[in-house]
Amino acid sequence: MGKPTGFLDYERMNSEETAPLERIKNFNEFHIPLSEEKQQLQGARCMECGVPFCQSGMMLNGMASGCPLHNLIPEWNDLVYRGNWKQAYLRLKKTSSFPEFTSRVCPALCEAACTNGLNGDAVSIKENERAIIETAYENGWADARPVAVRTGKKVAVIGSGPAGLAAADQLNQRGHEVTVYERHDRIGGLLMYGIPNMKLEKGIIDRKINIMKEEGVIFLTGIDVGKDIKASQIKKDYDAVILACGASNPRDIKAVGRDAKGIYFAVDFLTRNTKSLLDSDFEDKQYIECKGKNVVVIGGGDTGNDCVGTAVRHGAKSIVQVEMMPPLPKCRAESNPWPEWPKVLKTDYGQQEAIAVYGKDPRIYETTVKEFIKDKKGNLTKVKLVKLSWEKNEKNGRVEMKEVEGSEKEYPADIVLIAAGFLGSQEYVTKAFEVEVDARTNVATEKNCYHTNVKNVYTAGDMHRGQSLVVWAVHEGREAAKEVDMQLMGYTNLE
> What CATH number has the domain bearing residue 267?
3.50.50.60
CA pair distance 274, 244, nearest whole angstrom:
22
* pLDDT at position 4: 87
Residues 67 and 85 both lie in one domain: yes
Residues 26 and 71 both lie in one domain: yes
Is 495 among the domain residues?
A: no
CA pair distance 186, 205, nearest whole angstrom:
10
* pLDDT at position 397: 80
Is 440 among the domain residues?
A: yes
Number of domains the chain contains: 3
* pLDDT at position 34: 97
Residues 134 and 158 both lie in one domain: no
| Mean pLDDT per 10-residue section of the chain, whose length is 495 residues | 85 96 98 96 94 94 94 96 97 97 97 93 97 98 96 98 98 98 97 97 98 98 97 98 95 95 97 98 97 97 97 98 95 92 96 98 97 97 96 83 94 98 93 96 96 98 96 98 98 94
* pLDDT at position 232: 97
Is 178 among the domain residues?
A: yes
Is 257 among the domain residues?
A: no
Structure pTM?
Answer: 0.96
Rounded-to-10 torsion of CA 348, 349, 352, 354: -110
Which helix (H) or strand (E) element contains residue 411?
A: strand 409-412
* Domain termination residue (choose one: 116, 139, 162): 139
* pLDDT at position 425: 93
Nearest to 467 by CA among 162, 230, 78, 104: 162
* Domain termination residue (choose one: 418, 446, 469): 418
Give, as one character, the DSSP assignment of residue 418.
E
Is 183 among the domain residues?
A: yes
CA pair distance 316, 276, nearest whole angstrom:
18
* pLDDT at position 398: 86
472 touches 465 (CB < 8 A): yes
Residues 411 and 428 both lie in one domain: no
Alpha helix ranges (H) inside 417-461 = 427-433
Give the range of the structural domain holding residue 76, as residue numbers without chain letter.
6-139
* pLDDT at position 1: 62
* pLDDT at position 396: 83
Residues 295 and 177 both lie in one domain: no
Give, as one character, the DSSP assignment of residue 180.
E
Residues 433 and 413 both lie in one domain: no
Residues 280 and 336 both lie in one domain: yes
Is 301 among the domain residues?
A: yes
Displacement of CA 174 from its chain's centroid (Å)? 26
Residues 288 and 171 both lie in one domain: no
Residues 279 and 348 both lie in one domain: yes
Is 190 among the domain residues?
A: yes
Residues 358 and 442 both lie in one domain: no
* pLDDT at position 390: 86
Residues 276 and 289 both lie in one domain: yes
The helix, strand and coil proportions of the chain, stated in percent and rounded to the nearest 5, come to: 35, 20, 45
Nearest to 408 by CA among 380, 373, 371: 371
CA pair distance 219, 221, nearest whole angstrom:
7
Cα 428–431–432 angle (5° rounding)? 80
Residues 485 and 453 both lie in one domain: yes
Strands 31-32 vs 16-17: parallel, antiparallel or unpaired:
antiparallel
Give, as one character, the DSSP assignment of residue 22.
H
Backbone angles phi, psi at 13, to 5 degrees: -125, 130
* Domain termination residue (choose one: 86, 116, 139): 139
* pLDDT at position 392: 81
Is 258 among the domain residues?
A: no
